[in-house]
Structure formats: C-alpha cells, structure tokens
C-alpha cells in the first residue's frame, strides 16, 4: 500500500474514495460479464441450441470453482484490509502468502476429486442426451483448469484489499481481453465449439493470475507470494474461514440454486433453459456493476471499521444512494430494448419471447439484490461471521420452497417469479440483521437502516 492508497483509505472525501475503490471494480466486473455474454454470443453464431444449453448448465460448476477462490480471497482480503488499518504489515505478508499457496492446493483437490466423477457431475448438472457431450467437454476443461480459476479469484481479492483498485481492474480486463481474442480464434479458426470456449476461459484466468502474482511479488510493498512468508497459524486460518466459509456457502448455494432452477426449467424444454441462460447473462451485467460497487467499497469499510467508524457510516450511506440510482437507470434501459438484447444471441422467436419475459421479471429485483450484496459486504468487512453465514444460507435456501410453491400455483411463470420472491426474502433478512447489529457496528448507524 503506497501513500496514494493510504490517502484514499483515510483522508479523501467519501464520494472520491468510493469512486477510487468502486469504479475500477465496477469496470472489471462488467468486463467479466461481457466475456460471459460473448461466450454465449460466439456459440450462438453456430446456431446450435444444445451448445447454449450446455453453457447454461455448467454455470453451477463455475460457481463452485469461483466459490473456492472467494473462500480464500474474500476471507483473506477483508482480514488484510483490517490489518492495514491496524498497521500490522508483517501479518499481511504472512496472510497473502498463505492465500496464494492454499488457493493452488484447493484447485488441485478439485482436479483429484472431479475427474473420476466427471460423468456423474454432467448428469447431475441436468444435461439432456442432446447436450450431454457438449456439457462434458466444458466440465472436463474447467476441472483441469480449476487451479488457475481458483487462483484468479483469490488474487483479485487480495490485490484489491490493499487498495490497489486500478491494478485489480487491469487484471480483470486483461482476463476479458484475452478471453475474447481466444473465443474468436477457437470458434472461427479452429472450430472447437464448447471445448474451445472453456479452454479460452481457463487460459485467460491463468494469464491474469500471473499478472497479479507479478504485482504481489515485485510491485506491492506488503503483499507477497514468497513461500518463506507462508504461515498457517490458528489466527490466520480462523480469521480467513470466519468470513471465507460464509462466502463459500453462499456461492455454493447460488450454484445449487442455478442447478435447481435449471432442473425446474428443463420441464419446459431446452428452449426455456437456453432463454434463461441468455437472459441471466444479460442480467449479470447490471448485477455485476452493482456487485462491483458493493465489493469495491469493502476494503474501505473494513479499513474504516478499525480506523474511523464515522467514515465507515458515511461510506455506507453514499453507496446506498449509488445503488438506487444505478438500479433505476438500468431498469429503464432494459424495459425499453429487452427484445433487441435477446435478439443479439438468437433469431429463434420462441427464445426471444421467453428470454425477454424472464429479463423483465428478474430486473424487478435489481435494487434489492444490490442492497443484499451491500449487506453481505458490510458483514464481511466488519468480521460479522455469523451474520454473513446466515445471509449465505438464506440466499440459497429461500429459493427452494418458493420454487415448489410458485410452480404449483402458476407453472412456468411461477418458476420465473420465484427468483424475485427469493431475492426479497434475502433482502429483508439482511435489513433485519443490520438493524440488530447497528450498535455493535457503530452507535449512530440507525439512520442507515431506517
């Protein structure tokens, strides 16, 4: 952390500080959604619905691998920001080295466990006979490349935690640019379809991980990847897991939610799954913009929690206003041009109609899902592990009963609307816990939850 980063942590006006931390993260996350969308676009040019279905079905697997990266990355990252606020710089070195090597180990475990079980995994993802081969190809590549994917998500969080928001953004954009170039090559030049798209994702994550590792090893004053600083003490492991495990559980639940949701949709045909795959990728763009905003300010909130709680309160208040403004803007855009957006991926009228409908419904919960993400970020930044765990469980568990009830009441429409209802339940849970914890976080935090 250099003097400039310290200025934004401690002295910059709140709006300027939030912009410094959040805007690079918002740009980076939006770029990551762009390449997710482009994956679907490039496959869509082959006019094969089974390939698009395979891409949608494998989202839960990617969510699990990403969850392992966030387990270490977010758990370590929020702890690093708090340690920086307390000026415990040697502890930061131990923690960053621990995060680097434990992430690689988790990726190797995924390979060892996943490869022998690849066919059951593909069946469990809900692959139909038409999409089984394509789904298996994608799963195979993702399992082999999992150490690099896990490492990418870990290091992105670690680098951001020391205030190097621009460097974090550059790494994410580098991953996206490499992925786009490779996507075009594997589809139009080498004709590798789904397997090529998966390979492009893994390689782009590897290149970005090398970029982050170089920064930590040679550019950062406090972060390191040196094995000599590796230490897995009880304090390090417990503090990482206290925040990391709830994040992991939440990601697993979200992956399971996507899996269960696909199983409900498959009853309405491959077109329903493909339409959800397209619309969910479009929805990811504003969702990840808001996620970038909320996750971007987590280091600032964590630092301020140990150094200046009044500044923490002002940061949270400003972020809430920004979430509201962005949600309104994105909602207006989507309701005006949803058909044209879906039409970028397919010329099938049924897919366009179903995708547009799903997009309209799910956009209704954009603001509350953004607020839910902020609640979770606050709990992570302030080491409220129990609250973060409860939110993780609620986000996943709430959808299951809602899905069953909504489907029985209104069929396909009920299945789609269940997403909005589950988001509302998670938001209300987070708001109640924010109110309950207001005294512990900050004596005059009441105004933020009223």
| Each residue's pLDDT tens digit, 335-370 | 888 777 787 777 777 788 888 888 888 888 888 888
Give the span between the Cα atoms of 147 and 154, in whole angstroms. Answer: 11
For the chain, how far is it from start to end, CA to CA, in angstroms?
36
The predicted pLDDT at position 145 comes to 93
Q: How far apart are CA 280 and CA 297, in angstroms?
A: 25
- pTM for the full model? 0.72
* Cα–Cα distance for residue pair 286/365, rounded to 1 Å: 11
DSSP-assigned states of every residue in 80-130: HHHHHHTT-HHHHHHHHHHHHHHHHHHHHHHHHHHGGGHHHHHHHTT--TT
Note the pLDDT of residue 32. 64
Residue 203: what pLDDT? 94
Q: What's the confidence (pLDDT) of residue 445?
A: 43
Looking at residue 9, what is its pLDDT?
81
Burial of 443 (0-12, 13-18, 19+ CB in 10 A): exposed
- The residue count for the chain: 450
Q: List the domain boundaries for the chain.
A: 3-448
- The widest CA-to-CA distance across the chain, in whole angstroms, is 61
> Is the Cβ–Cβ distance between 79 and 239 less than 8 Å?
yes
Output helix, strand, coil percentages for the chain, rounded to the nearest 5: 90, 0, 10
Residues of the chain with pLDDT under 50: 443-450
For residue 158 the two structure tokens come to 């670690």
Q: Are 380 and 78 in contact (CB under 8 A)?
A: yes
Long-range contacts of 390-393 (CB under 8 A, 24+ apart): 390/429, 390/433, 391/246, 391/250, 391/426, 391/429, 391/430, 391/433, 392/246, 392/247, 392/249, 392/250, 392/253, 393/249, 393/253
> 255: which 2 tokens?
């992956």
> Cβ distance 362 to 419 under 8 Å?
yes
Q: What is the pLDDT of residue 75?
A: 84
């Amino acid at each position: 952390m250099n003097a400039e980063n310290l200025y934004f942590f401690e002295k910059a006006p709140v709006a300027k500080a939030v912009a410094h931390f959040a805007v690079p993260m918002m740009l980076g996350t939006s770029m990551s959604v762009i390449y997710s969308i482009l994956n679907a676009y490039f496959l869509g040019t082959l006019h094969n619905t089974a390939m698009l279905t395979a891409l949608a079905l494998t989202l839960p697997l990617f969510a699990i691998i990403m969850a392992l990266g966030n387990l270490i990355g977010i758990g370590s990252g929020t702890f690093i920001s708090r340690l920086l606020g307390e000026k415990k710089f040697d502890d930061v070195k131990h923690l960053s080295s621990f995060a680097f090597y434990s992430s690689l180990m988790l990726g190797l475990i995924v390979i060892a466990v996943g490869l022998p079980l690849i066919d059951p995994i593909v069946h469990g993802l809900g692959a139909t006979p038409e999409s089984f081969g394509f789904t298996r190809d994608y799963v195979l590549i993702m399992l082999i490349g999992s150490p690099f994917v896990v490492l990418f998500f870990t290091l992105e969080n670690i680098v951001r935690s020391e205030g190097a928001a621009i460097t974090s953004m550059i790494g994410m954009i580098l991953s996206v640019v490499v992925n786009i170039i490779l996507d075009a090559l594997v589809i139009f030049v080498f004709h590798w379809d789904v397997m090529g798209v998966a390979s492009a994702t893994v390689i782009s994550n590897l290149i970005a991980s090398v970029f982050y590792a170089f920064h930590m090893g040679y550019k950062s004053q406090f972060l390191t990847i040196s094995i000599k600083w590796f230490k897995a003490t009880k304090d390090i492991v417990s503090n990482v897991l206290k925040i990391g495990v709830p994040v992991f559980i939440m990601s697993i639940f979200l992956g399971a939610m996507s899996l269960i949701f696909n199983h409900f949709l498959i009853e309405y045909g491959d077109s329903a799954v493909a339409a959800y795959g397209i619309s969910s990728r479009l929805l990811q763009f504003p969702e990840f913009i808001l996620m970038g905003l909320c996750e971007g300010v987590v280091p600032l909130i964590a630092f301020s929690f140990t150094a200046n709680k009044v500044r923490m309160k002002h940061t949270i208040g400003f972020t809430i206003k920004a979430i509201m403004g962005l949600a309104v803007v994105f909602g207006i855009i989507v309701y005006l041009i949803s058909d044209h957006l879906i039409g970028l991926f397919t010329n099938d009228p049924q897919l366009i109609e179903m995708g547009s409908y799903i997009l309209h419904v799910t956009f209704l919960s954009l603001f509350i899902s953004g607020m839910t993400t902020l609640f979770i970020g606050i709990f992570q930044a302030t080491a409220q592990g129990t609250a973060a765990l409860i939110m993780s469980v609620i986000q996943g568990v709430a959808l299951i009963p809602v899905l069953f009830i909504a489907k029985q009441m209104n069929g396909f429409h009920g299945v789609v609307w269940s997403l909005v209802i589950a988001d509302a339940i998670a938001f209300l849970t987070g708001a109640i816990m924010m109110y309950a914890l207001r005294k512990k976080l900050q004596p005059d935090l009441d105004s933020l939850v009223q």
